[in-house]
């Protein structure tokens, strides 16, 4: 009955959504393009969802293929042509066996419609009734973690942020002691308890001190994790943060007196060059504000290097240059690289410069 009511509502809405100019083509429209199964038990087997669609065009609609991202989804769909104003369906099944934890799968629908490809999404969480640690997604030897990545998000300079990662010892008879090697001074890592008993659970607390770090923008720290003083495969643990200056508390007068960065050119095209050739270019910037402009950081994307300017504090009305070097060795075709410049300009604290061109084939 619920499905019949849904179809009646959809048919009524579809008649309203019939668009002018579509009389010479088919047009596919779904009641929904995503479905969340929620928590499903592995032991209960395959689950399914039916996606209903309508042909809101003027010609018969024919589905040519329905392709899932992996073999764990088994779609069945309406094979015969769907006439204008009529309905069709795609039934998608998911087998949770051997797939604990969260999942998200896409199914691409191809047809002769004006919108000839539509992506459907199914998602959910597979729970193993007999596995008390099924919610822990990452395994390092006997240790399971809910994450191997502590993301601090945006951290304003001077701010302290922390992240807690839940862990568990899944071994049958041995306690587990976890340690991290070469922890930088801007991080503090506490493991509680210091030793995990078999079947025991605990936490890793990561504390990030932004004022102890001479770095700006995106920061990634890779740490080596040991278990019982042993380095095991795939033991990398990462901490990330985006370090920014907090301009939100500046008054209108302070903003008016702030530095202001202006580039003569934010994009340089070096044209066409031969493989192995090195190209040097310069971006010229000027401080047109009323106080000193400070260059906090310059970062170039892979394939290009940016040379730090001789002067990083630019007085009002003064200029400086950022030199870039591009080495075309091992490259061919069109090239495009970004140079990120971080400053204390509150309105343009992050500027992206572009270097592009073409490397001829050998």
Q: How far apart are CA 39 and CA 44, in angstroms?
A: 11
- Average of per-residue pLDDT values in the chain: 86
Which own/partner contact pairs does 103-109 have at CB distance under 8 Å and 24+ positions apart? 103/72, 105/68, 105/69, 105/70, 105/72, 105/73, 106/68, 106/69, 107/66, 107/67, 107/68, 107/69, 107/73, 107/75, 108/66, 108/67, 109/28, 109/63, 109/66, 109/77
Count Cβ atoms within 10 A of the Cβ of residue 153 and give its class: 0-12 exposed, 13-18 middle, 19 or more buried: exposed
Confidence at residue 125, expressed as pLDDT on a 0 to 100 scale: 82
183 within 8 A of 205, measured Cβ to Cβ: no
220 versus 303: the higher-pLDDT residue is 220
Q: How far apart are CA 90 and CA 46, in angstroms?
A: 16
Q: How far apart are CA 270 and CA 322, in angstroms?
A: 16
133 within 8 A of 176, measured Cβ to Cβ: no
Residue spans of the domains in the chain: they are 2-127, 138-244, 252-359
Pick the CATH number of 138-244 from 2.60.40.1180, 2.30.30.700, 2.60.40.10, 3.90.550.10: 2.60.40.10
Any bridge partners for residue 268, and if so which?
A: 355
Any bridge partners for residue 34, and if so which?
A: 121
What is the percentage of the chain residues whose pLDDT exceeds 90?
48
| pLDDT (average), residues 19-43 | 79
Q: How confident is the model at residue 23 (pLDDT cuts 50, 70, 90)?
A: low
| pLDDT (average), residues 271-276 | 88
350 versus 100: the higher-pLDDT residue is 350
77 within 8 A of 120, measured Cβ to Cβ: no
Confidence at residue 130, expressed as pLDDT on a 0 to 100 scale: 66
Read off the pTM: 0.60
Q: How confident is the model at residue 92 (pLDDT cuts 50, 70, 90)?
A: very high
CATH 2.60.40.10 fits 252-359, yes or no: yes
Give yes or no for residue 1 having a pLDDT over 70: no
Q: In this predicted model, what pLDDT tens digit does every residue of 150-194 receive, in sequence order?
A: 999 999 999 999 999 999 988 777 788 988 988 999 999 999 998
Give yes or no for residue 8 having a pLDDT over 70: no
| pLDDT (average), residues 3-20 | 46
Is the Cα dihedral 306, 309, 315, 318 positive or negative?
Answer: negative
Q: What's the topology of domain 2-127? A: Immunoglobulin-like (2.60.40)
Q: How far apart are CA 147 and CA 85, in angstroms?
A: 48
Give yes or no for residue 14 having a pLDDT over 60: no
Q: Is 138-244 in the same CATH topology as 2-127?
A: yes
Sheet holding 230-244, edge to edge: 149-156, 230-244, 217-227, 176-181, 195-196
The tokens of 303 are what? 């394939």
Q: In this predicted model, what pLDDT tens digit does every residue of 225-245 receive, in sequence order?
A: 888 888 877 778 899 999 999
Q: How confident is the model at residue 344 (pLDDT cuts 50, 70, 90)?
A: very high
């Amino acid at each position: 009955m619920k499905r019949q009511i849904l179809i009646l509502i959809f048919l009524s809405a579809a008649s309203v959504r019939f668009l002018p100019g579509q009389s010479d083509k088919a047009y596919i429209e779904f009641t929904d393009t995503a479905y969340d199964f929620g928590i499903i038990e592995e032991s209960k087997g395959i689950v399914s969802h039916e996606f209903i669609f309508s042909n809101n065009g003027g010609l018969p609609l024919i589905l040519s293929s329905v392709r899932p991202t992996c073999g764990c989804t088994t779609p069945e769909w309406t094979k015969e042509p769907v006439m204008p104003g009529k309905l069709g369906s795609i039934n998608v099944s998911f087998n949770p066996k051997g797939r604990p934890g969260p999942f998200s799968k896409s199914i691409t629908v191809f047809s002769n419609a004006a919108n000839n490809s539509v992506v459907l999404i199914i998602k959910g969480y597979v729970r193993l009734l007999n596995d008390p640690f099924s919610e822990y997604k990452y395994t390092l030897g006997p240790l399971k973690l809910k994450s191997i990545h502590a993301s601090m998000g945006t951290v304003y300079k001077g701010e302290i942020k922390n992240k807690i990662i839940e862990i568990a010892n899944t071994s049958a008879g041995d306690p587990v002691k976890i340690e991290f090697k070469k922890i930088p001074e801007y991080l503090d890592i506490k493991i509680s308890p210091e030793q995990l008993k078999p079947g025991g659970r605990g936490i890793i607390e990561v504390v990030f001190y932004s004022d102890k770090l001479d770095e700006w923008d995106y920061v990634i720290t890779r740490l080596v994790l040991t278990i019982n003083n042993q380095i095991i495969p795939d033991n990398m643990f990462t901490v990330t943060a985006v370090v920014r200056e907090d301009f939100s508390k500046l008054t209108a007068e302070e903003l008016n007196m702030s530095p202001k960065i202006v580039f003569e050119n934010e994009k340089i095209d070096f044209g066409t060059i031969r493989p192995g050739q090195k190209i040097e270019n310069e971006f010229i910037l000027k401080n047109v504000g009323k106080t000193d402009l400070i260059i906090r950081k310059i970062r170039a994307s892979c394939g290009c290097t940016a040379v730090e300017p001789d002067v990083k504090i630019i007085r009002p009305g003064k200029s400086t240059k950022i030199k870039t070097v591009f080495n075309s060795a091992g490259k061919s075709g069109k090239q495009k690289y970004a140079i990120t410049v971080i400053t204390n300009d509150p309105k343009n604290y992050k500027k992206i410069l572009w270097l592009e061109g073409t490397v001829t084939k050998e």
